[in-house]
Structure 1
Amino acid sequence: MDLHTAANAVTSVDGTDLGDLLDELRGIHVGIDLILDGLRHIAHDRHTIDRTQTLCAALAGTDCDVITAIAHLVARLADPDTNPALRTLPLDQQKAARLAGEQTAYALTDPDLHQHASETAAAIDGT
């Protein structure tokens, strides 16, 4: 892959793993489409070194990041107390969904999951 582009332009994500994933997820829900638009915008925007470091941390490198927010949203969606659509399921299935959502949140908030993005941000920051 050529790292040098005309006028030092930011390369497109089209035809990359990220671009393909953004395309594949489109259309599930307007909220996800907005998230995808945000991710595409971040990928195509021109950043400073400081902003790049901050974005790496904010996306996945702290206990207050996008991955953590998604973890809590999954738990919320899987809980019949906060998602009325699940209240029509049999009680055992409601409990299983709630437990699976809690386990998802636990896994996605594990500090080890965030360590690599944190180290990426630190490497950019020079610390």
Structure 2
Amino acid sequence: MPAHDPYGPVHTAGNAVPPLDGDLDGIHPGIDLIRDGIRLLALDRHTLDDTQTLLATLAGSAGADVIAAVGHLVARLANADHNPALRALPLDVQKQTQRHGELAAYHLADPDLAAHASEASASITGT
């Protein structure tokens, strides 16, 4: 008896996961890892439960999702206390850069930004 395929008959040309466009090569090895992770998530096959969890984790849990984590990273990189490269800038430019980083983190953690991904996640189970 053949092994049960939890995804059903998905291995057909009409049911293929479409390829991705665009590239972020050569910026930084960390960006390469992020890009590769996004590519893996986009091209992998997921169960309904996996999909629901991924939607919430990526962008549907304001303040506790990947989008908010990116916001925190932007704020950290824009802060001379955490990024010594910025210390070579004039103090007013350091403060302006820090302020913009903080605003980016604030806006990326906005619950309104997470609302649609959260609703997409919840709609999978009808909750």
Identity of aligned residues (%): 58
- Aligned CA RMSD, in angstroms, stands at 1.6
Do 1:10 and 1:44's aligned partners in 2 also have CA atoms closer than 8 Å?
no
Query: 1:6 and 2:12 equivalent?
Result: yes
Moved over 2 A (4+): 7-10
CA deviation profile, 1:49-93 (whole Å, cap 9, x unmatched)? 000000000000003111010000000000000000000000000
In 2, Cα distance between equivalents of 1:10 and 1:76: 39
Q: TM-score, normalised by structure 1?
A: 0.86
Q: Cα offset for 1:12?
A: 2.8
- Length-normalised TM-score, structure 2: 0.86
Number of matched pairs: 117
Tell me the equivalent position of 2:4. Answer: none
State the alpha-carbon separation in 2 of the partners of residues 7 and 83 from structure 1: 48
More helix as a share of residues: 1
Separation in 1, partners of 2:19, 2:26: 18
Q: Note if contact 1:80-1:86 (Cα within 8 Å) is conserved in structure 2.
A: yes
Match in the other structure for 1:28: 27
Number of the residue aligned with 1:49: 48
Q: Larger Cα Rg: Structure 1 or Structure 2?
A: 2
